[in-house]
Amino acid sequence: MNEESTNRIEESPKEITRRNFFLKLSLSLAGLGAAAAAVPVVSALIAPLLEKKNQVWRGVGKVNQFQEGTTTLVRFTNADPKPYAGTTAESAAWLRRNEKNDFIAFAANCTHLGCPVRWEKDAHLFMCPCHGGVYYANGTVAAGPPPFPLTKYQVRVVNNEVEIKTAPIPITHIGSKSV
Amino acid sequence: MKKTIKKIWNWIDDRIGISQNILPILRHPVPPKAKWSYVFGTAVLFSFVLQVVTGIGLSLLYQPSSKDAYESLLFITNKAKFGNLLRGIHYFGASAMIIFVGIHMIRVYITASYKFPREMNWISGVFLLLCTIFMGFTGQLLRWDSNGVWSSVVAAEQLGRTPFIGKYLARFLLGGDTIGGQSLSRFYSYHVFIVPAMIFLFVGLHLYLVIQNGISEPTKAGRLVDPKTYRAWYKNLLKEKGVPFWPNAAWRDTMFSAILIICIVVVAFIFGPPALSGKPDPAVLHTSPTPDWYMVPFFALFALMPHKIESIVMLLGPVLTVVILFSIPFISNRGERSPLKRPWAVYGVICVTIFAISLLVIGLKAPWSPHFNTKPVPLSAIKSQNPDSTIIQGVHLFYSKGCNYCHKINDYGGIDGPNLTTIGNRLSIQELTVRIVNGGKNMPSYGGILTKDELNNIVAFLKSQD
């Protein structure tokens, strides 16, 4: 093709349409390819938002393992642990037996910023190591920054076995009320 | 021999085009007198490269799985040859990167180098700042000790304060309802792939812009930036007085960064990496999550601000900060650049720096936290010479009831509450009783907790401290 004919082709509106067509086609295909590859990647990224998790009841011990008027640390397996979760497959709760079958299970997370509260059994207080939050034995705020009482898990007694219902890590947010 | 090497080099140079394309960039002219205040950006870049290299080293030894990560950290720290040093360099490298990002940013701000035509240099820099902070935070989680696990919970709680979507953000961060197998995999991906890829991208853009717009010339009071004439003036400056970046200016960057890296390695060798806290077991609750030093100011802020406003601050604080940072070059992109003529800019930087350092200092002391590991007051340290049984009981109760965690007597106890060494002088028996029974703003009311005898014993002990 000599120079003259090249120029002639570029000037022809019909040939430009043809080139345009291929340009657009190639860009569209590239976009389609990228989108197709992106679907599983984005899905992996937002997986936590797509999963629907059912909460389950987990046994934490026989009723008479817990003395009346005491608060004990119990641990239970989360709703749907991954096989490679190791110790992080479990959560902890502070289980208080008031009397007979009357149990309360407190989440171990401070309602201020989620740090682990510890039960000081002689002082009868829950204390948070982070910003000085303190709670009474019934979970109400005794001192410090926590905006709400300790969150509670659902708890029940079935066949003399104490069971706790798994739940997401309690998240305090604006306008939220304690469960 | 020499001839052969020269021949080989010429062939490589011809095919790659080093002399043709790369050297002119290295030798691009820069304004004269750009001296030691211009080395901080390179210091950040070299710390980043150090992080990439030591990060690759760590990845050869690390297990990114919730189950095994902690064990592999123990292996790196205690068993692997130079593993402890490797962790140390990565830790102090991160610290250096954060410090020099801050210094670089302060330098650019007080000399107003973000003004025309370098607005995009600033904006890409803000993205890099955010990436760096995120890297610092996720890096701390990858240690996957109790600190790492609980820090991720704390972060989820902060995200959770966002209205409407907070719950979803928290879930997104943790990878599920709770900490679990999925959490560490995600933090690993963020820290090792996603954010580093973004950093490479923005560093590329940042450096490209340095070439495109040139480095800002040293300031001179009274010499104003006028977007209409600046480019031509700058071009002329380079033509008349410019010096080649390599080697005239670059030797300072090279020397400073080299000394920095040597210092990091030496410091890492002497001090080693931060110790691992306990196992990543969500059921081990006797642990005190403390973030790495660069996160401590935020931690301190949450302890100190009025708790009524903290949900709003947690949300608006970061949003406003980012908005302000991005809008700085648009608020004023012309005019005076010299810090001598911009006293308010200098004043602002000093205020922010003092604020951050004060929060860091008080955050490291954490006076608001109960001191769980305090020792009980020994009888030899109390005022009473011949304590009777009520006072002795009181001393024991003072510890077992948790008073000691927050109140100091002589050298024993926490500093959250007032020092009670001489409380017997200040309060009567009646006043002491009322305080203990009713509590106060930051003190639980012990009325429902203590028996009458226990209360009397503690009061007797405190009254004897006169």
Write out pLDDT tens, residues B238-279: 999 999 999 999 999 999 999 999 999 999 999 999 999 888
Q: Which of A178, A112, A57, A73 is nearest to B284 (CA)?
A: A73
What is the spatial distance between Cα A137 and Cα B454, in angstroms, rounded to a whole number? 18
The DSSP code for B32 is: T
Cα-Cα-Cα-Cα torsion B79, B84, B87, B89, nearest 10 degrees, comes to -150
**CB < 8 Å to A115, chain B:** 150, 153-154, 289
Task: Tell me whether residues A173 and B289 touch, CB distance under 8 A.
Answer: no
For A75-125, the pLDDT digits (tens) are 999 998 889 999 899 999 999 999 889 999 999 999 999 999 999 989 999
Q: Chain A contact for B120, CB < 8 A?
A: no
Q: Chain A contact for B448, CB < 8 A?
A: yes
Residue of A nearest to B300 (CA): A131
For A149-167, the pLDDT digits (tens) are 999 999 999 999 999 999 9
Residue A45, min C-alpha distance to chain B (Å): 8
pLDDT at B7 over 80: yes
Predicted pLDDT at A15: 64
pLDDT at A126 over 60: yes
pLDDT at A179 over 50: no
Task: Tell me whether residues A84 and B67 touch, CB distance under 8 A.
Answer: yes
Q: Which of B194, B145, B195, B151 is nearest to B174 (CA)?
A: B151
Give the global pTM.
0.91
pLDDT at A6 over 60: no
Q: What is the ipTM of this complex?
A: 0.87
Predicted pLDDT at B366: 87
For B311-330, the pLDDT digits (tens) are 888 888 899 999 999 999 99
Q: Which of B91, B138, B70 is nearest to B278 (CA)?
A: B70
In this prediction, residue A1 has a pLDDT band, given cuts at 50, 70 and 90, of very low
3-class DSSP state of B450: coil
Let me know: does A55 contact A82? Beta carbons within 8 Å. Answer: no
The amino acid at residue B165 is I
CA triple B290-B291-B297, angle to 5 deg: 105
For B39-95, the pLDDT digits (tens) are 999 999 999 999 999 999 999 999 999 999 999 999 999 999 999 999 999 999 999
- A18: its two tokens: 């043809």
pLDDT greater at residue A21 or residue A13: A21
Phi, psi (rounded to 5 degrees) for A89: -70, -15
